């Protein structure tokens, strides 16, 4: 199929004002009648044919203004319905289609999951329900009638509010829902089934009483309470932080066990992957609690950034996703620790988005072209999209940013918008020219900023010289400078921030790097300062500075910016690890700087009050971080060995402090997932992980004791994870025990799959293959596939990248199997290959062989074909 290009966007030739849908539910033959109030679009092409989108549809009949059309008047296929001569004024089009929800393994459109019906329409799933103008700039008001068997489907839900219900004869019943807010088809939802519910209410700032309902499988209601609390917290926060109020009488969340992504923001009826709803102290980790809160918030915040104001076309996806990620990150920062959240988000950005930007799948935050839109729900669109907004706030200041958001909501409510329209609001409120800013949206790649500094003791000046480059990415050989806000501090020998004087006047700490090179000269600098660069990670760039390890370790102890205190230790550790990985390949050893060990050790100091922050300091850069820093001719085994050696060295140096901290951080009392308690546990586990480094017997014994005595799921899973890194009896005992205890709970078995799939041990491929045959595994369930195959491909660098190529063959084989049943999940698994070009020649060759094998398969889905083609380009 032809690619879609942003430059070819044209408004629709027709508009749809009203949609009436009528579903007669049946597992294999659901009949859908769509009555559409249509009219020509004044902005479209007068006299154009009416071309509607479809996907695997079976047409039953078509009528215009009550008159059936016969075959000659139509050009119909499962993928489109063309009416050559539609009326030139307003008309009603009635289309009847028949669909098979039971056979829908792609989980797009209407499908069945555990005997419930549910829909997923973003991005192009609505066309699998009926022929439609399935594009986000066609906004209509929907009325939906659902009829189904009363026993199997006591619940019949759709968007908006229920306006009617009753019996429909022969054991069936119906409900009619009306959503007064115009929306694009991708926000349509239907759920029907027999589910349990948890109910609550929220009174909005203007006094609207909103019924809140969370639907889960019967018997799981006690696991929906945290999700319900998270909804209320999200509603309150959006009122306080952005002045945004909820706009219907009911807000519903439904948990389903088969879902291609995390959740979906359908108007008034959010559908969730059950992984991001269900939590109880017995079954959920601290991470689960935090994820649920963040994803509930994310989907709820879409009500304004996505639903009330939506995207003109799918190239503008970051308009809703980047902005909504920014909003959910702010929410979490306000509810938990802001510095820790920032560190976690930056770790995540570097691991996923920087990796994407450095490889063949790199694309701009707003792509210019796509073959398959499903493949653009990426870390670049989401996480880099959020960074660009945070950076804009840093650059124009809090007040202009908030005023810009208010203007955006006011001006564009009810519209389908572009990034230009969004950015124009901030240009207006800040008075700044944001033309160059748009490069952040249109130019792919991570800018690299080199900083060189010089202190002149005689002149009492401190010069900071910067240079920015962005390397070529696929389809973009030439790059131009972007506007980079650099928040900077100068830290004096006493650890305090020095005044910033530039050009004889006090300067704000946010400096603009808009040219290829920039020189800033600070004056009246009495003593040599240590520069603290890109405080709070003020821009999504890679930094190469001449700040020495010694100075960084000084910052680690003194910087007023917590992010840079953490970053300083990471940078010193990363420099060491890169050198150590090179040394491993040459058969040499690299001694560990005792000052680095000391800086890590400070995390375990009894005086340290912020455990969650300390745990971040104690967590070394990942193998992926090291690989990205090395950038080419990467040997994952050498990296693993270097990191392992550093952990052993830290254990050797810090053994007493680690043991003392582990003992001191023991706790009892009832479980609470709050941020402080979770931080406490995470620091204790960080100590345990180092104590068990190299398979130390005492460390493993502690882990085994914790596993057995654990009174919450975090301790149980994390101790099992520590044990799983080291081959031996303890590992097998814990894994067998876990399967025995939790074999009945699929979400807990996902943790068991993930831990085994990510263990960097030589039996990983055999183990994953064995687990694929276990009764707990189900290739039709995306959560199972992601926990086992996804975790292996993206979370086990040494075994996925085995020199014999078996890891690549395993992932490619599963992707080939899923290619026809669930292409979207198949394509996502192949994300594991995004860094293959950076590998050393043998592995690179074997990865390429696996990709070429896929490329040569017959009947490749558009999703898989697109990823394979781009990965090989
Ligand atoms: N906006 C939602 C994206 C999504 C999705 C996209 C493609 C296929 C299935 C999907 N499920 C959900 C979720 C979000 O980002 O909020
Ligand atoms: Zn989203």
| Closest-approaching ligand to the CA atom of 261 | 1
Q: How far apart are the C-alpha atoms of 67 and 209, rounded to whole Å? A: 44
Is any atom of ligand 1 closer than 6 Å to the C-beta of 321? yes
Average pLDDT, 10 consecutive residues per value, the chain (873 residues):
95 98 98 99 97 98 97 94 96 98 98 97 98 99 99 98 98 99 99 99 98 98 98 99 98 98 99 98 98 99 99 99 99 98 98 98 98 98 99 98 99 99 99 98 98 98 99 98 99 98 98 98 98 99 98 98 98 98 97 98 96 98 98 98 98 98 96 98 98 98 98 98 97 98 98 98 98 98 98 98 99 98 98 98 98 98 98 97
Q: How far is CA 312 from the centre of its chain?
A: 22
What is the model's pLDDT at position 143?
99
Residues with Cβ within 8 Å of 873's Cβ and at least 6 positions away in sequence, in order, are 360, 474
Choose which residue among 110, 111, 122, 327 to substitute to test ligand 1 binding: the one with the highest number of ligand atoms within 8 A of its C-beta: 122
Q: How far is the CA of 261 from the centre of ligand 1 (A)?
A: 6
Q: What is the DSSP letter of 263?
A: E
Phi, psi of 135 (to 5 degrees): -145, 145
Q: Which residues surround ligand 2, an ion (CB under 5 A)?
A: 321, 324
Closest residue by Cα to atom 2, ligand 1, is 264
* CA distances, 686 to each of 309, 544, 605, 620, 722 (Å): 43, 28, 13, 10, 10
The C-alpha torsion from 608 through 610 and 613 to 619, rounded to 10°, is 50
- What is the 3-class SS of 768-794, one letter each residue? HHHHHCCCCCCCCCHHHHHHHHHHHHH
Given this model, what pLDDT does residue 1 score? Answer: 78
Q: How many CB atoms lie within 10 A of CB 609?
A: 8
**CA–CA gap between residue 30 and residue 660 (Å, rounded):** 64
Alpha helix stretches (DSSP H) within 210-364: 225-242, 286-301, 317-335, 338-348, 355-357
Closest residue by Cα to atom 5, ligand 1, is 122
Determine whether the shortest distance from the Cβ of 285 to ligand 1 is under 6 A: no
Q: CA-to-CA distance for 441 and 324, rounded, in angstroms? A: 16
Q: From the alpha carbon of 306, which atom of ligand 1 is closest?
A: 1
How many Å apart are CA 622 and CA 626, to the nearest integer?
6
Question: What's the rounded Cα separation, in Å, for the pair 177 and 700?
Answer: 57
Ligand 1 site-directed mutation target among 183, 263, 375, most atoms within 8 Å of CB? 263
Distance of CA 298 from the midpoint of ligand 2 (Å): 6
* Residue 71, pLDDT score: 87
CA distance 277 to 290: 11
For the Cβ of 264 lying below 6 angstroms from any atom of ligand 1, the answer is yes
Ligand 1 pocket test, candidate residues 261, 386, 827, most atoms within 8 A of CB: 261
3-state secondary structure 182-236: EECHHHCCEEEECCEEEEEEEECCCCCEEEEEEEECCCCHHHCHHHHHHHHHHHH
| Residue nearest atom 11 of ligand 1, based on CA coordinates | 261
> How far is the centre of ligand 2, averaged over its atoms, from the C-alpha of 311 (Å)?
12
Cis peptide before 429 (omega within 30 of 0): no
Ligand nearest to the CA of 273: 1
Sign of CA dihedral 294, 296, 297, 301: positive
The response to whether residue 377 sits with its C-beta less than 6 Å from ligand 1 reads yes
How far is C-alpha 437 from the geometric centre of its chain's CA atoms?
24
Residue 804: what pLDDT? 98
Dihedrals phi, psi of 465, to nearest 5 degrees:
-110, 130
DSSP state of 45: -
Cα of 750 vs centre of ligand 1, distance in Å, is 21
Which ligand is nearest the CA of 325, by number? 2
DSSP code at position 363? -
Angle at 497 between CA 492 and CA 500, to 5 degrees: 100
Residue 93 is classified by DSSP as: E
Q: In order of start, what are the domains of the chain with their CATH numbers? A: 4-194 (2.60.40.1730), 310-442 (1.10.390.10), 462-544 (2.60.40.1840), 743-873 (1.25.50.10)
**Taking a C-beta distance cutoff of 8 angstroms, is the pair 540, 384 a contact?**
yes
The 8-class DSSP code of residue 497 comes to B
Q: Are strands 310-311 and 416-417 parallel, antiparallel or unpaired?
A: parallel
Residues with Cβ < 8 Å from 398, sequence gap 6 or more?
none
Query: Residue 122: nearest ligand to its CA?
Result: 1
Gap between the Cα atoms of 202 and 250, Å rounded: 10
Contacts 24+ apart (CB under 8 A), 216-219: 216/255, 216/274, 216/277, 216/278, 217/114, 217/255, 217/257, 217/274, 218/194
Q: How far is the CA of 186 from the centre of ligand 2 (A)?
A: 13
Task: State the complex-level ipTM.
Answer: 0.98
Class of residue 788 by CB neighbours under 10 A (exposed 0-12, middle 13-18, buried 19+): buried
Atom 1 in ligand 1: which residue has the minimum CA distance?
264
Residue 171, CB-side half-sphere exposure with 13 Å CA sphere: 5
Task: Quote the DSSP letter at residue 621.
Answer: P
Cβ–ligand 1 contact at 374 (below 6 Å):
yes
Cα dihedral angle (212, 218, 223, 224), rounded to 10 degrees? Answer: -10
- Report the 10 Å Cβ neighbour count for 663: 11
**Exposure letters 416-444 (e unless 16+ CB within 10 A, then b):** bbbbebbbbbbbbbbebebeebebbbbbb
DSSP bridge partners of 369: 5
Residue 518 CA to ligand 1 center (angstroms) comes to 41
Contact 863 CB / ligand 1 (< 6 Å): no
Say which residues have a Cβ less than 8 Å from residue 205's Cβ, sequence separation at least 6.
239, 245
- Looking at ligand 1, which residue's alpha carbon is closest to its atom 8? 122
Instruction: Evaluate: CB of 293 within 6 angstroms of ligand 1.
Output: no
- Compute the distance from residue 698 Cα to the ligand 1 centre, in Å: 45
- In whole angstroms, how far apart are CA 111 and each of 190, 266, 514? 10, 16, 50
Largest CA distance in the chain: 95
Query: Which residue's alpha carbon is nearest to atom 15 within ligand 1?
Result: 321
Cβ(299) – ligand 1 distance below 6 Å: yes
Of 782, 808, 778, 779, the closest CA to residue 796 belongs to: 808
Ligand 1 center from residue 122 Cα (angstroms): 6
Euclidean distance between CA atoms 84 and 72, whole angstroms: 10
Say yes or no: CB of residue 696 within 6 Å of ligand 1: no
CA of 512 to the centre of ligand 1 (A): 35
Q: How far is the CA of 696 from the centre of ligand 2 (A)?
A: 43
Q: Which of 94, 122, 299, 387 is catalytic?
A: 299
Query: Distance between the two ends of the chain, CA-based, in angstroms?
Result: 18
Query: Quick check: 34 and 132 in contact, CB under 8 A?
Result: yes
Is 299 catalytic? The answer is: yes
**122: Cβ below 6 Å to ligand 1?**
yes
Sign of the alpha-carbon dihedral angle for 72, 76, 81, 84:
negative
123 lines ligand 1 (CB under 6 A): yes
Q: Which of 264, 266, 271 to mutate to test the pocket of ligand 1 (most atoms within 8 A of CB)?
A: 264
Burial class (CB in 10 A: 0-12, 13-18, 19+), 775: exposed
CB 518 within 8 A of CB 525: no
The minimum-distance atom of ligand 1 relative to the CA of 324 is 16
Tell me how far CA of residue 556 lies from CA of 535, 566, 596, in angstroms.
Answer: 13, 6, 10
Query: Is any atom of ligand 1 closer than 6 Å to the C-beta of 715?
Result: no
CB of 265 within 6 A of ligand 1: the answer is: yes
Ligand 1, atom 3: closest residue by C-alpha: 264
């Amino acid at each position: 199929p032809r690619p879609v290009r942003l430059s070819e966007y044209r408004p629709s030739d027709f508009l749809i004002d009203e949609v009436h849908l009528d579903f007669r539910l049946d597992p294999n033959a659901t009949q859908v009648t769509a009555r559409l109030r249509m009219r020509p679009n004044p902005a479209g092409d007068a006299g154009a044919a009416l071309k509607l989108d479809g996907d695997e549809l079976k047409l039953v009949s078509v009528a215009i203004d009550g008159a059936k059309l016969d075959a000659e008047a139509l050009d119909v296929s499962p993928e489109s319905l063309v009416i050559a001569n539609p009326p030139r004024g307003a008309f009603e089009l009635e289309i009847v289609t028949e669909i098979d929800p039971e056979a829908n393994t792609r989980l797009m459109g209407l499908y069945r999951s555990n005997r419930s019906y549910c829909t997923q329409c973003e991005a192009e799933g609505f066309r699998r329900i009926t022929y439609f103008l399935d594009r986000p700039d066609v906004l209509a008001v929907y009325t939906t009638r659902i009829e189904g068997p009363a026993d199997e489907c006591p619940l019949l839900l759709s968007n908006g509010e229920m306006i009617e219900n009753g019996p429909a004869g022969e054991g069936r019943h119906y409900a009619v829902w009306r959503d007064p807010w115009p929306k694009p088809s991708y926000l349509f939802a239907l759920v029907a089934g027999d589910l349990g519910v948890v109910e609550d209410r929220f009174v909005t700032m203007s006094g609207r009483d909103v019924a809140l309902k969370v639907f889960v499988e019967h018997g799981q209601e006690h696991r929906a309470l945290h999700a319900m609390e998270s909804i209320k917290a999200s509603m309150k926060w959006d009122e306080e932080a952005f002045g945004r109020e909820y706009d219907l009488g009911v807000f519903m969340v439904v948990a389903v066990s088969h879902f291609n992504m995390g959740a979906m923001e359908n108007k008034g009826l959010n559908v969730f992957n059950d992984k991001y709803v269900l939590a109880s102290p017995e079954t959920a980790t601290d991470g689960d609690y935090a994820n649920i809160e963040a994803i509930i918030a994310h989907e709820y915040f879409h009500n304004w950034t996505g639903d009330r104001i939506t995207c003109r076309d799918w190239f503008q996806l970051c308009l809703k996703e980047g902005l909504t990620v920014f909003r959910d990150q702010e929410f979490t920062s306000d509810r938990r620790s802001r510095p820790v959240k920032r560190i976690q988000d930056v770790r995540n950005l570097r691991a996923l988005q920087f990796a994407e930007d450095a490889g063949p799948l790199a694309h701009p935050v707003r792509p210019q072209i796509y073959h398959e839109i499903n493949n653009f729900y990426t870390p670049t669109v989401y996480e880099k999209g959020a960074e660009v907004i945070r950076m804009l706030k840093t650059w124009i200041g809090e007040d202009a940013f908030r005023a810009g958001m208010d203007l955006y909501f006011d001006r564009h409510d009810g519209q389908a918008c572009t990034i230009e329209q969004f950015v124009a609001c901030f240009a207006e409120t800040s008075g700044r020219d944001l033309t160059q800013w748009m490069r952040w949206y249109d130019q792919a790649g991570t800018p690299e900023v080199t900083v060189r500094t010089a202190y002149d003791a005689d002149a009492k000046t401190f010069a900071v010289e910067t240079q920015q480059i962005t390397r070529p990415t696929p389809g973009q050989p030439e790059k131009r400078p972007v506007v980079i806000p650099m928040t900077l501090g100068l830290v004096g020998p006493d650890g305090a921030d020095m005044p910033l004087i530039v050009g004889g006047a006090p300067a704000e700490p946010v400096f603009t790097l808009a040219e290829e090179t920039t020189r800033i000269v600070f004056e009246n600098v009495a003593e040599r300062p240590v520069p603290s660069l890109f405080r709070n990670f003020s821009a999504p760039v890679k930094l190469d500075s001449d700040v020495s390890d010694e100075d960084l370790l000084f910052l680690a102890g003194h910087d007023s910016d917590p992010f840079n205190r953490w970053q300083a230790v990471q940078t010193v550790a990363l420099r060491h690890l890169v050198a150590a990985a090179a040394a491993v390949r040459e058969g040499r050893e690299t001694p560990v700087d005792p000052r680095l060990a000391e800086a890590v050790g400070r995390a375990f100091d009894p005086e340290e009050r912020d455990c969650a922050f300390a745990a971040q300091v104690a967590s070394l850069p990942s193998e992926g971080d090291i690989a990205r820093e090395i950038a080419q001719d990467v040997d994952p085994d050498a990296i693993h060995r270097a990191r392992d050696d550093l952990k052993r060295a830290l254990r050797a140096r810090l053994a007493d402090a680690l043991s003392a901290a582990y003992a001191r951080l023991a706790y009892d009392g009832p479980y609470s997932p709050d941020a402080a308690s979770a931080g406490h546990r995470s620091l204790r586990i960080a100590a345990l992980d180092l104590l068990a480094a190299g398979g130390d017997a005492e460390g493993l014994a502690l882990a085994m004791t914790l596993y057995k005595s654990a009174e919450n799921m975090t301790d149980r899973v994390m101790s099992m994870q520590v044990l799983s890194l080291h081959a031996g009896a303890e590992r097998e005992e814990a894994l067998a025990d876990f399967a025995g205890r939790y074999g009945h709970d699929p979400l807990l078995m996902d943790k068991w799959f993930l831990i085994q799939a990510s263990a960097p041990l030589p039996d990983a491929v055999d183990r994953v293959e064995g687990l694929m045959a276990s009764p707990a595994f189900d290739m039709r369930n995306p959560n199972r596939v992601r926990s086992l195959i996804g975790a292996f491909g993206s979370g086990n660098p040494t075994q996925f990248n085995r020199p014999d190529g078996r890891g690549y063959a395993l992932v490619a084989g599963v992707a080939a199997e899923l290619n026809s049943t669930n292409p979207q999940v198949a394509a996502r698994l192949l994300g594991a290959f995004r860094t293959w070009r950076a590998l050393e020649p043998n592995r690179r060759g074997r990865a390429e062989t696996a990709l070429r094998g896929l490329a040569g398969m017959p009947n490749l889905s558009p999703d898989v074909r697109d990823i394979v083609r781009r990965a090989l380009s």
